[in-house]
Amino acid sequence: MPEQSLIFPADEFRNRLRRFQSVMATQGVAALLLTGAADIFYVTGFLTRFWESPARPWFVIVPASGQPVAVIPSIGAELMGRTWITDIRTWDAPDPEDDGVRLLTDTLRDLAGDDGAIGLPMGLETHLRMPLGDFSELTRRLGVARFVDATDIVHRVREVKSEAEIDRIRTICAIADRAFARVPEIAAPEEPLNRVFREFQMLLLQEGADWVSYLAGAAGPGGYGDVISPADGRPLQAGDVLMLDTGAVRDGYFCDFDRNFAIGPANDAAKRAHAALFAATETALAQLRPGMLASDLHRILTGAIRAQGATPGGGRLGHGLGVTLTEWPSVTAKDHTVLREGMVLTLEPGVVITPGRFMVHEENIVLREDGPELLSARTPPDLPVIPV
């Protein structure tokens, strides 16, 4: 008998199922069709890096009552069999003649009947992870009108984390904290940025990350211009500000925060930028409460940056975090999602130093009844300096 997946006890998944089915009931959804790695991991505990291969679709269906059903390639049957899921239906994928569409059709008929509504995430931050042609065929067989948008169902359930989930995120945050504390071991003048990136990933692994799904960053004199690039071979120089931003993973849960370092003494503009970012985050940590909207948090952060005499910059100023690197909501002026107790969020204010050169600063928190609890160790108030 293979060992059961031990990421969480089955009760954790039963609670998730109950929460899904409770929201589904209020919306009259007979079955929820999930196709993505994060949603499927969330419902089943099925954790694998095999999603990296686009070759095969995977499906999990949450019925209005009863247990979830997995409709998956046979190559995944053993691993799915070690989760709490017991109804596992397989086909030999990839099959150019029928890559699971008939089996999925039959399963949806089993679970949603001939006319029950089938919920499918179709909104912001969702993707359908199956070929569009196969989805068209599925809608032809079942009736396109039966498919309804389930983005809200998935968002409202997944966005509030259990204590078990918060513990996982705290663990990976602590791993990244330890790796960031060791950056002075790997960053120095003449060290090429791409070598720093490689070595920082090694530090994360040494400190206990299972893998490193995301690393971005930048370095430039007194600030940087872009935060999504992979590293180039430019050597670090005295006067640079180095930023590393990582989404490392442990047991399927992500951290997502960054740290800035001055290579040698920082100039005044960089010091002021870091101080403004620190102060803006302090303000948000002090003021944020459940019941506020994501747009309220945006207003708090931009107001606090301006109060420091600095100019807000960057994209959104934070977002959800959990089983993917970024989750809804987005901390923007347009996102009016209610922030609830148990949400895990990033606070990610940015300031413009000079046109095209800025600084960004990120912490991870869980929102409690009385305000934010930090999951990342707080960055120091003064921009850390790596002596040269």
Query: Is there binding between residue 141 and a second copy (CB under 8 A)?
Result: no
Closest CA to 368 of 282, 290, 309, 291: 290
Find all residues with CB under 8 Å of 106, minimum gap 6, and list them.
none
Position 128 contacts a second copy (CB under 8 A): yes
Least gap, CB of 5 to a second copy (angstroms): 9
**Long-range pairs of 46-54 with CB within 8 A, sequence gap ≥ 24:** 46/5, 46/70, 46/76, 46/79, 46/80, 46/83, 46/85, 47/5, 47/7, 47/251, 47/252, 48/76, 48/79, 49/211, 50/75, 50/76
Q: Within positions 156 to 185, which residues make up the interface with a second copy, using CB under 8 A?
A: none
130 touches a second copy (CB under 8 A): yes
Q: Measured from the CB of residue 363, what is the shortest distance to a second copy in angstroms?
A: 17
In the bound complex, what is the minimum distance in angstroms from residue 60's beta carbon to a second copy? 16
Which amino acid, residue 106? D
Phi, psi torsion values for 341, nearest 5 degrees:
-55, 135
Nearer to a second copy, 283 or 322 (CB): 322
Q: What is the C-alpha to C-alpha distance for residues 47 and 253, in angstroms, rounded to an integer?
A: 10
> Residue 156: helix, strand or coil by DSSP?
helix
At its nearest, how many Å lie between a second copy and the CB of residue 134?
Answer: 8
**Given candidates 12, 110, 296, 335, which one binds a second copy under the rule CB under 8 A?**
335
Paired tokens of 208: 């206990």
List all residues 6 or more positions away from 372 whose beta carbon is below 8 Å from its beta carbon.
284, 285, 288, 345, 347, 365, 366
The reply to whether 211 sits near a second copy by the rule CB under 8 A is: yes
Please identify which residue in 16, 161, 272, 316 interacts with a second copy, judged by CB under 8 A. Answer: 316
Contact 29, 119 (CB under 8 A): yes
Instruction: Write out the binding residues for a second copy, residues 53-72 only, by CB under 8 A.
Output: 53-55
Q: Which of residues 72-91 bind a second copy (CB under 8 A)?
A: 73-76, 78-79
Pick 152 or 373: Cβ nearer a second copy: 152
Among 247, 312, 322, 372, indicate the residue that binds a second copy (CB under 8 A): 247
| Contact with a second copy (CB under 8 A) among 15, 65, 86, 194 | 194
Sort strands 87-91 and 240-250 into parallel, antiparallel or unpaired: unpaired
Q: Does 198 bind a second copy (CB under 8 A)?
A: yes
Instruction: Decide the pairing of beta strands 87-91 and 69-73.
Output: parallel
Give, as ranges, the residues between 3 and 62 that touch a second copy (CB under 8 A).
3, 6, 38, 47-50, 52-55
Sign of the torsion formed by the C-alpha atoms of 349, 378, 273 and 176: negative
Q: Which three-class secondary structure state does DSSP give residue 298?
A: helix
Q: How far is the CB of 38 from a second copy (least distance, A)?
A: 8
Q: Judged by CB under 8 A, does residue 379 bind a second copy? A: no
Which residues fall within 8 angstroms of residue 297, CB to CB, at 6 or more apart? 284, 288, 317, 318, 331, 339, 345, 347
| Binding segment (CB under 8 A) for a second copy, from list 108-116, 176-184, 276-284, 315-323 | 315-323
With a CB cutoff of 8 Å and minimum separation 6, the contacts of 53 are none
Using DSSP bridges, classify how beta strands 211-221 and 147-149 pair: parallel, antiparallel or unpaired: unpaired
Closest CB to a second copy among residues 63, 350: 350
Number of residues counted as binding a second copy (CB under 8 A): 82
- Examine residue 132 and tell whether it contacts a second copy (CB under 8 A): yes
Which residue in 11, 115, 149, 152 binds a second copy (CB under 8 A)?
149
- Residue 47: what residue type? L
Q: Select from 172, 196, 236, 325 the one that contacts a second copy (CB under 8 A).
A: 325
Which residues 251-310 are close enough to bind a second copy by CB under 8 A? Answer: none
Residue 311 touches a second copy, criterion: CB under 8 A: no
Site for a second copy, residues 213 to 232, rule: CB under 8 A: 213-216, 225-232
Q: Within positions 89 to 108, which residues make up the interface with a second copy, using CB under 8 A?
A: 92-97, 99
Residue among 160, 202, 338, 374 that touches a second copy (CB under 8 A): 202
